[in-house]
Amino acid sequence: MSQSIERAIEVLMLLGGGAQTPAEVARRLDVHRSTALRIMDVLFEQRLLRKLPDGRYGIGPGILSLAHRAQDQFDLAQLAHPKLLKLNALRDQTVHLAELQHDEIFYVDKIEPRRSIRLTSRIGQAVCLHTASVAKSILAFLPSKARDAMLDGYVFDKHTPTTLSSRRALERELQLVRERGWATDDGEREDYVASIGAPIRDVDGNVVAAVSVIELKAIHDLKSMESLMLDALLETADAISRELGWTGAPVIR
C-alpha cells in the first residue's frame, strides 16, 4: 500500500474519533502540517471530510453515504457463515449463530455435523433464554433494563436436572459469564448435549449476537468441550465481531 493511501486511511480513522485541526492531525501522525493539510483537502474534495467553522476537519457526508449504501453487505449471517464453517470443520460439531432481534434471540444460522445426531434447533427458531449458551452469552452483556424487559414474566421451565429454574439462578450464571467472557449449557435443555458459547460485538462494542458449538456428551462432555474448542470459539466470535467493526481487545482465557 502506498504511503499516501496509508496516510489517508490514518486520517480518516483519526477523525472518526472526533474533529481536529490540521496541526493536531500532523502531530498525531508525526508528519509536517502541509502534508496533513494536503491529504485532508483531497479527502474534503471527495466529501469524505468536512470543514468546520472553527478550522477543524471532521468526517464528511460521503462517509455516511458510503456506509448507508454498503449496509446490506453487513448482514450478520452472511458475514459469519464462512467462519462458522471453519469452526465446524475442526471437530465436526454443531455450530449455532444466534442474533438479538428487539426483545428476542433467534437462531440465524446453523452448521450441522456430518457424523453425529442432528439437533432439533432450526434457523428462525427462538432461543431458550435460560438454557442455551448463545442466549446466556447475549443476556449477560445487555444493559440491566434490556435484560429485565426480556425476562419479565419469563417462565423458567425445568427441562433436565441441570436446568436453571429461577431468575436468581440465571443471574448468578450471567455474572459468571461476564467475568470469564463465555457461557455454557451443561445439558440444560437436552441432557445428552453440552455447549459453549461466546458473545459477538458490533462496531460500538454492544453484544448483538453469539456463536456456540454443541456436542453429544457421549463424545465430549462440557469439560472436554472447553479444553478442545474454547480457544477456537473465542477466536471465531472475535473474528465475526471485527467483521462488524469491533476494534476492542479480544477475550483471552
138-142, 201-205, 245-249: least confidently modelled range: 245-249
The predicted-structure confidence for 214-227, as pLDDT tens digits, reads as follows 999 999 999 999 99
Maximum pairwise Cα distance, the chain:
70
The predicted pLDDT at position 73 comes to 62
The predicted pLDDT at position 75 comes to 85
Q: Which three cell numbers stand for residue 41?
A: 483537502
* Per-residue DSSP letter, 16: T
With beta carbons less than 8 A apart as the criterion, state whether 107 and 136 touch.
no
Report the candidate in 226, 225, 217, 220 with the shortest Cα–Cα distance to residue 187. 217
CA dist 7 and 17 (Å) reads 16
Q: Which three cell numbers stand for residue 115?
A: 457424523
Give the pLDDT band of residue 3 (cuts 50, 70, 90).
confident
Most confident of 8-22, 55-69, 176-190: 176-190
CATH architecture of 72-243: 2-Layer Sandwich (3.30)
Whether the pLDDT of residue 1 is over 80: the answer is no
Q: Which helix (H) or strand (E) holds 104?
A: strand 104-111
Whether the pLDDT of residue 42 is over 90: the answer is yes
The predicted pLDDT at position 118 comes to 76
What are phi and psi for residue 4, nearest 5 degrees?
-65, -40
CA dist 22 and 41 (Å) reads 10
CA dist 74 and 203 (Å) reads 11
The predicted pLDDT at position 234 comes to 98
Give the pLDDT band of residue 35 (cuts 50, 70, 90).
very high
The predicted pLDDT at position 119 comes to 81
The predicted-structure confidence for 184-198, as pLDDT tens digits, reads as follows 999 999 999 999 999
The predicted-structure confidence for 87-139, as pLDDT tens digits, reads as follows 999 999 999 999 999 889 999 999 999 876 778 889 999 999 999 999 999 99
Domain locations in the chain as residue ranges: 3-69, 72-243
Give the pLDDT band of residue 4 (cuts 50, 70, 90).
confident
Q: What CATH number belongs to 3-69? A: 1.10.10.10
Burial degree of 108 (CB within 10 A; 0-12, 13-18, 19+) = buried
Nearby residues of 153 by Cβ (< 8 Å), 6 or more positions away: none
Q: Which three cell numbers stand for residue 46?
A: 471527495
Average pLDDT, whole number, for the chain?
Answer: 92
Mean pLDDT of 160-179: 97
The predicted pLDDT at position 193 comes to 95
Question: Regarding beta strands 94-101 and 207-216, do their DSSP bridges make them parallel or antiparallel, or are they unpaired?
Answer: antiparallel
Give the pLDDT band of residue 70 (cuts 50, 70, 90).
low
CA dist 8 and 191 (Å) reads 55
With beta carbons less than 8 A apart as the criterion, state whether 92 and 101 touch.
no
Q: What crossing angle do the helices spanning 3-15 and 22-29 adopt, rounded to 10°?
A: 120
What are phi and psi for residue 136, nearest 5 degrees?
-65, -35
